[in-house]
Amino acid sequence: MPQHQGARLVLSQGQAAAILLLPFLTIYAVFLVYPFFKGVWISLHDWNLMAVAFNPDAKAYVGLSNYERVMWGSNITWGAWASPAFQFIGLAGVVASAWLYRTGRAGKVTALAMGGAALLLFVLPGFHPGEGGRWYDRRFWPTVGNTILFVGLAVPGVTITAMLLAAALDGETRAKAVLRTLFFLSQVLSVTVVTLIWQIMFSPRQGLIANLTQLFGGSPIVWLTAEGFAMASIVIATIWWSLGIAMILFLAGIQDISKDLYEAGALDNATGAKAFWYITLPNLKRTITLVVVLQIILHFQVFGQSHLMTNGGPNDTTQVLVRYIYQTAFRDSELGRASAMAVFLFVIMGGFSILQFVLGREKDQ
C-alpha cells in the first residue's frame, strides 16, 4: 500500500490502550483513589468536621490514636474461650478447611483462604477487657457484630430466595415473564421508599402483618421496637428489596445450563426437585459464588434500613457499622475517628473481594 507523505501518527497497541483508558483512569484517580488516601490521611488526625471547615489549622496529627480509641481498650487480654460460640465456629472452620484440602475436596488456595478466615474468627473474638479494663469505645465491636449478623442473615436469605424464584420463574410463559418483572420491581425503589413501605407493613397498629396476625387471633408483634424482632425486620425488608439483581443473575446462570442435561436427567427419572438438586444446583456453583460475594460486599454497607426503620435500636441491636461511621462524622463532627472506622470497613470488604478473586481464579485453572 502506498504510504502518504507526512505519515499519520501510528499508535502502538499499548499507546492506544493508554489513551482510551485515560478518561476512566483520571475519573477513577480523582473520585476514588484520591478520596481513599485522603480518608486514610484524615484517620490519622484529630479532625473536627466543622472546626476544620472554618479553620484549616484546627486539625492535629495523632498517629494511630483514632484506631486505638475505636478498636482497643485498657487492659485487653486474649483468651481461647472468651467468646465460645464464635471461637468454636472458627476452630471448626480451621479443621474443616484442613480436612477439605487433605481429602482433595478443596484446592490449596481455597483451603488457605477459608482457613485464614476461620482462624481470624478464632483469634479476634478472643480479645476482651481483663480485670478492671474496658474498651475505649464499648459500642464499636458490638456494632461490628451486628453488621456481621445482618450480613449472615441477609446474604443466605437473598441467595436462597432468589435462586428458588429464578428456578420457578425460568420459562417462556407470559405469566412467568410478568412475575419476573414484578419480583424485580422492588429493586428499582430507593431505600427511603422501601423502608417507608416496610415501616407501614410492620406497624403494630395499621400494618398488614399486624392485621393478619389479629385475623388469626394473635396479638400483633411490635416488630421495630422489640429486641428479638428488630434485626429480623430489617433483614426481611432487605431481602425483599435486593432480590431482583440476584434473581436475574441466577436466571442467566440457569439459562446457561444445557437443556441436554435435563433431557438426560429426565430419562433417569430426575425431574422437578430432583433435577434442581442434581443438575441445576451443581451447575450454578459459579453464579452462587458470585452472588454470595457481591451480596456480602453490598450488605456490609447496610445503612438506610437501620437508620430509617429502627434508628439502630432497640438497645443498639440494629446499630450497624456505616450508621455508626455516619453518626460519628456528621452528628459528632469527629471525622478522624469516623475515617478510622471506615478504613476498618474497607479492610473487611477488601478481604472479601480478594476471596472472590481467589475463588474465581481457582475455578479457571
Partner 1 sequence: MKHVILGATALTLLATSAVAQEVTLGRFFGDCEDAGTDTSASVGEACIIQSIINAADAEIDGLSINTLPTDWGNYYDQIVAAYAGGTPPNVHVMHRHRVPEFANIGALADLTDDLEGAGIDPSDWEPAALEAVTYNERIVGVPMDIHANLWHVNMDLMEAAGLVEDGAPILPSSPEEMLEHARMVQEATGQDYLAADFAEFPIGVRVALALIWQQGANIFEGDTATIDTEETRNAISAITQLFDAGLSNPQLNYADSQQAFLNGEAAVLVNGTWVVDFYAAEAARDDEGLNSYFVADFPTLFDEGATWADSHMWAIPSPVKANDPDTYATALQVLAFINDHNIDWARTGHMAVRTSVLESAEYAALPHREEYTGTADIARDTPPSVRYGAIQDALNRELQAIWLTGKSVDAALADAQSDVQDLLDR
Residues in contact with partner 1 by CB under 8 A are: 48-55, 58, 134, 136-139, 203-206, 222, 224-227, 308, 311-317, 326-327, 330-334
Nearest distance, CB of residue 83 and partner 1, angstroms: 19
Residue with cell string 437501620:
306
Q: Which is nearer to partner 1, 253 or 312 (CB)?
A: 312
Q: How many CB atoms lie within 10 A of CB 131?
A: 6
Which 8-state DSSP code applies to residue 324?
Answer: H
Q: Which is nearer to partner 1, 180 or 337 (CB)?
A: 337
Nearest distance, CB of residue 53 and partner 1, angstroms: 4
Q: Tell me which amino acid residue 50 is.
A: M
Q: Which is nearer to partner 1, 49 or 257 (CB)?
A: 49
Q: What angle do CA 192, 144, 98 make, to 5 degrees?
A: 125
Contact 137, 315 (CB under 8 A): no
Q: Which is nearer to partner 1, 195 or 242 (CB)?
A: 195
Contact 182, 247 (CB under 8 A): no
Q: Which is nearer to partner 1, 75 or 353 (CB)?
A: 75
Q: Which is nearer to partner 1, 134 or 285 (CB)?
A: 134
- Which three cell numbers, joined as nine digits, stand for 352? 472479601
- Which are the contacts of 315, defined by CB distance < 8 A and separation ≥ 6? 227
Four-residue CA torsion sign, 298, 303, 304, 308:
positive
Nearest distance, CB of residue 345 and partner 1, angstroms: 19
Using CA atoms, how far apart are residues 365 and 353, in angstroms rounded to an integer?
Answer: 19
Nearest distance, CB of residue 201 and partner 1, angstroms: 14
Nearest distance, CB of residue 142 and partner 1, angstroms: 11
Nearest distance, CB of residue 315 and partner 1, angstroms: 4
Bridge partners (DSSP) listed for residue 46? 60
Phi then psi dihedrals of residue 311, to 5 deg: 55, 30
